Chains A and B, each alone.
Chain A
C-alpha cells in the first residue's frame, strides 16, 4: 500500500491525514521503524493509531504510560498465584514439579508489549504519552523498539513473529532521551488547516449544518491565534460543534451571549474564560482582529 492509498484508507476510517503524515506512516511501515508523534493535546495523535488499526484491519494494542510504570505492567509478569497452586497440587502427588515447568509460557502473564510482540497477526502497538513514564522505562523500551524483542531471563529472548507498527505519542511534558528519539521516525502533528478541520468535522458529524460547521471551525481557528493558556484542539472543536448541533443551531448566532454557555467546550481554564468575554466572542464571530487598539475587518 503506497502513501496515497494509505491516506485514502485512513480517510475511510474517519481520519483526515495530510500528505506528509501519510508519507511518514508509509515510510514507518516500509522501514519497520517506530513513529514518534508529538504535538499539542487534542490534535489527533491517539486517534491516528485507532484509525490506522481500523483501516489496516489490525488489532490495536495500547500501552498507556504513567509515572511509575514498570516492566510488570508493561511487558510481562509471572503468574505467581498459579505457580504456587501448581506446586501445592504436585505436593499431593508423588511426582515432583520441575522448575522449568513453572517458568514456561503457561505461567507468563502477557502485558501490552509482550502481547504485541507475540501476536499471531500483525498489530498496531500504541505507546501513549511516553513522556509520562520514567526514564528507566524508556531505556527498557529501547530493546523492544530497536529489535522488536523482549528478553525474559527465565525463558530467553522472545522475538516478534510479525513486526508491529509502533506509534509513540508524547505531549512534551518531559524531554525524551536522544537514544529513544534516534530509534524512531518523527512527526510533529500541528493543528489542522481550516479546510482540513472542516473536512474532519464533516466526516465525524455528517448531520451538522454546513454553514454551522464552516463558521464554527473558522471561529475556532481564529480563537487559536489568541494568547490562550490551553489552545483548543480538534477534539474540542468536535465537542463544541456537537453541542451547537444538539442545540439545534443552523449557523453561529450574531448574539455572543447565546454562545457563552457553550464555550466551556473550547476554553478549559479560568484565565482563558476571563480573557474571551462576550465582546471578544463578537469580534471573533465577525472575523475581526484587534491590532493595537484598532479593530481590523477580516480579509477574505
Chain B
C-alpha cells in the first residue's frame, strides 16, 4: 500500500488542478499558501486544513459553496456516495495527516510551526509542478473513479442538458458580457479626478480651508451610463423546452447588469422582481404569472404592450432590447414589423436570440428583418460566449 501514496506536493498540486478544472482561481501563489498553511498546522490538527485551504482558494460565495464537495471528492473519495469504482485500477491514497507530516519532515526542519524559506519552497513546488498537467489530472481528478468532468464537454452541451451546478458558469459569462456593454455619455456631470471641466462652486468651497487658495480644484466630466437592457422571453408552448433555461440566462443578466425581464406568449408580464433574489420558488412564481395566458404566441401584441406601457419611459437610444424567441407569431405578419419599428423609433437596438440553427423564417420575421440589428443563435454556452463579441 505504501507505494500507492503520492508525494505531498504532488497531492497538493493535483488538488489545485482539480480546483482549477472547476473554475477556482488557484495559481502558484495559492499553492504556495497551501503548503505554508500545511507547514504551520500541527499534525494532530491536520483536519483543520480544510478550513484553512478554503480561505486561501475561495474568492467568492460561489467558490465557497462548491468547496466541500471538491475537497471531499479529492481527499475523501470513499465518503462520497454514488462514486464509480473501476476494477483493477489503483487509486492513489491521500491522507491529509500524512501529507502534513511528510511535508513538515521534508521542508519544515522538524519544527512544525516554522516558516519554510521561500526559495526552498519555490524549488520544491516548481519540481512538483513540473509534473505534466494531464498526469496530475489522471492522479488527482475523479476520472480514475469514473466521474468524468470536462470543461470542454460542458462548453458545447446544449442548454437543455445542463445540470444546476453548471449554471454558475453562465453567471460568469453574463458578467463578462455586462462589462463589455458600451457605456454612453449622458448630459449629466459627475466629479472625477481626471475631469475636463472645473467645478467652480465646489473648488471655491474647498478653498476656504486653505485661506482662499484653490489648492484642490474639483474637476467634473460627463457621466457615463451602461445601456439599459430589456429581455423579453417567449414562454409559449413552442418554446417550452428552452424557456426555463432562457429564464436562467435572463436571471444572470438581472444580477449582472440590472436588466428588466418580461415573459410573453399571448400577453406580456414583467418578472424582474421575481428574479432579483435567489429563491427555490422562482419557477413556480413565473408559472403562476403566466398560467392564465392561454395558448399561442402574440409577439406583436406583447411588443406593443412593452413599448407602450411597461418600458415607455425608459426606451431611448441607450436601450438594448433582447428578444428570446423562435419568431412564430399568431398576430398578423405585418404587425410585428410595425411594433418593432416603434421600438426602433425610440432609439433602442433590437437583438433577436433564436434557439434553432437558422434564423427564424416566419412571414412576420421576414417583414421585420431590417429592424433587427442582429440575430444570435442561443442554444449552448459556446453560443453565448460567441454572442459576447457582438453584444456591445
Contact yes or no, A186 B48, CB < 8 A: no
Given contacts A68-B191, A182-B25, contact A23 B52 (CB under 8 A): yes
> What 0/1 pattern do residues 303 to 336 of B give for CB contact below 8 A with A?
0000000000000000000000000000000000
- Size bin of chain A's contact surface: 20 to 34
Cβ of B198 within 8 Å of any chain A Cβ, yes or no, is no
**Contact residues of A between 148 and 173, Cβ < 8 Å to B:** 172
Point out the residues of chain B lying under 8 angstroms from A211, CB to CB: none
Point out the residues of chain B lying under 8 angstroms from A178, CB to CB: 25, 59
Interface residue SS majority, chain B: helix
Contact yes or no, B64 A186, CB < 8 A: yes
Contact yes or no, A27 B52, CB < 8 A: yes
Contact yes or no, B36 A31, CB < 8 A: yes
Which of A81, A175, A227, A229 contacts B210, CB < 8 Å? A81
Cβ of B151 within 8 Å of any chain A Cβ, yes or no, is no
Cβ of B390 within 8 Å of any chain A Cβ, yes or no, is no
Contact yes or no, A185 B55, CB < 8 A: yes
Cα A84 to Cα B209 in complex, Å, equals 10
Q: Which residue of A lies closest to B208 (CB)?
A: A81
Contact yes or no, B215 A80, CB < 8 A: yes
Contact yes or no, A84 B52, CB < 8 A: no
Cα A27 to Cα B57 in complex, Å, equals 13
Q: How far is the CB of A78 from chain B (nearest CB, A)?
A: 9
Point out the residues of chain A lying under 8 angstroms from B213, CB to CB: 80, 84
Q: Which residue of A lies closest to B64 (CB)?
A: A188
Cβ of B33 within 8 Å of any chain A Cβ, yes or no, is yes
Q: How far is the CB of A251 from chain B (nearest CB, A)?
A: 32
Contact yes or no, A81 B209, CB < 8 A: yes
Cβ of A28 within 8 Å of any chain B Cβ, yes or no, is yes
Point out the residues of chain A lying under 8 angstroms from B52, CB to CB: 23-24, 27
Point out the residues of chain B lying under 8 angstroms from A33, CB to CB: 33
Point out the residues of chain B lying under 8 angstroms from A209, CB to CB: none
Contact yes or no, B54 A20, CB < 8 A: yes
Point out the residues of chain B lying under 8 angstroms from A2, CB to CB: 42, 45
Which of A23, A30, A31, A187 contacts B48, CB < 8 Å? A23
Contact yes or no, A188 B61, CB < 8 A: yes
> What 0/1 pattern do residues 250 to 293 of B give for CB contact below 8 A with A?
00000000000000000000000000010111000000000000
Given contacts A31-B33, A31-B37, contact A84 B60 (CB under 8 A): no
Q: How far is the CB of B143 from chain A (nearest CB, A)?
A: 28
Contact yes or no, A84 B210, CB < 8 A: yes
Q: Which of B59, B64, B193 has the most CB of A within 10 A?
A: B59
Cβ of B386 within 8 Å of any chain A Cβ, yes or no, is no
Q: Which residue of A lies closest to B37 (CB)?
A: A27
Contact yes or no, A30 B59, CB < 8 A: no
Cβ of A8 within 8 Å of any chain B Cβ, yes or no, is no
Cβ of B40 within 8 Å of any chain A Cβ, yes or no, is yes
Contact yes or no, A186 B279, CB < 8 A: no
Cα A186 to Cα B67 in complex, Å, equals 12
Cβ of A214 within 8 Å of any chain B Cβ, yes or no, is no
Contact yes or no, B51 A181, CB < 8 A: no
Cα A35 to Cα B59 in complex, Å, equals 11
Point out the residues of chain A lying under 8 angstroms from B84, CB to CB: none
Interface residue SS majority, chain A: helix
Point out the residues of chain B lying under 8 angstroms from A187, CB to CB: 55
Cα A68 to Cα B218 in complex, Å, equals 13
Cα A191 to Cα B72 in complex, Å, equals 23
Cβ of A138 within 8 Å of any chain B Cβ, yes or no, is no
Q: Which residue of A lies closest to B63 (CB)?
A: A186
Cα A3 to Cα B210 in complex, Å, equals 50
Contact yes or no, B58 A186, CB < 8 A: yes
Point out the residues of chain A lying under 8 angstroms from B33, CB to CB: 31, 33
Point out the residues of chain A lying under 8 angstroms from B210, CB to CB: 80-81, 84
Cβ of B211 within 8 Å of any chain A Cβ, yes or no, is yes
Cβ of A38 within 8 Å of any chain B Cβ, yes or no, is yes
Q: Which residue of B lies closest to A185 (CB)?
A: B55
> What 0/1 pattern do residues 167 to 207 of A give for CB contact below 8 A with B?
00000100100100110011110000000000000000000
Contact yes or no, B56 A80, CB < 8 A: no
Q: Which residue of B lies closest to A88 (CB)?
A: B211
Given contacts A30-B40, A175-B175, A229-B277, contact A23 B61 (CB under 8 A): no
Which of A24, A136, A227, A229 contacts B51, CB < 8 Å? A24
Point out the residues of chain B lying under 8 angstroms from A84, CB to CB: 210-211, 213
**Contact residues of B between 7 and 63, Cβ < 8 Å to A:** 25, 29, 33, 36-37, 40, 42, 45, 48, 50-52, 54-56, 58-61, 63
Q: How far is the CB of B51 from chain A (nearest CB, A)?
A: 4
Cα A81 to Cα B64 in complex, Å, equals 49
Cα A19 to Cα B213 in complex, Å, equals 56
Contact yes or no, A27 B40, CB < 8 A: yes
Q: Which of A23, A33, A136 has the most CB of B within 10 A?
A: A23
Point out the residues of chain B lying under 8 angstroms from A21, CB to CB: 51
Which of A28, A38, A185, A227 contacts B60, CB < 8 Å? A38
> What 0/1 pattern do residues 23 to 51 of A give for CB contact below 8 A with B?
11001101101010010000000000000
Point out the residues of chain B lying under 8 angstroms from A188, CB to CB: 58, 61, 64-65
Contact yes or no, A185 B56, CB < 8 A: yes
Point out the residues of chain A lying under 8 angstroms from B175, CB to CB: 175
Contact yes or no, A186 B60, CB < 8 A: yes
Q: How far is the CB of B52 from chain A (nearest CB, A)?
A: 5
Instruction: Supply 28 A–B pairs (Cβ within 8 Å), ascending by A.
Output: A2-B45, A3-B45, A19-B51, A20-B50, A20-B54, A23-B48, A23-B52, A23-B55, A27-B37, A27-B55, A28-B55, A31-B33, A31-B37, A35-B55, A80-B213, A80-B215, A81-B210, A81-B211, A84-B210, A181-B59, A181-B60, A182-B29, A186-B54, A186-B55, A187-B55, A188-B58, A188-B64, A229-B277
Instruction: Please name the 10 residue pairs, one residue from A and one from B, whose CB atoms are nearest each other, closest first.
Output: A20-B51, A23-B51, A188-B64, A185-B55, A181-B59, A24-B55, A80-B210, A186-B58, A27-B52, A23-B48
Contacts A81-B209, A186-B64 supplied; 5 other A-B pairs, CB < 8 Å: A20-B54, A27-B52, A80-B209, A175-B175, A188-B65
Binding site for B on A (CB under 8 A): 2-3, 19-21, 23-24, 27-28, 30-31, 33, 35, 38, 68, 80-81, 84, 136, 172, 175, 178, 181-182, 185-188, 227, 229
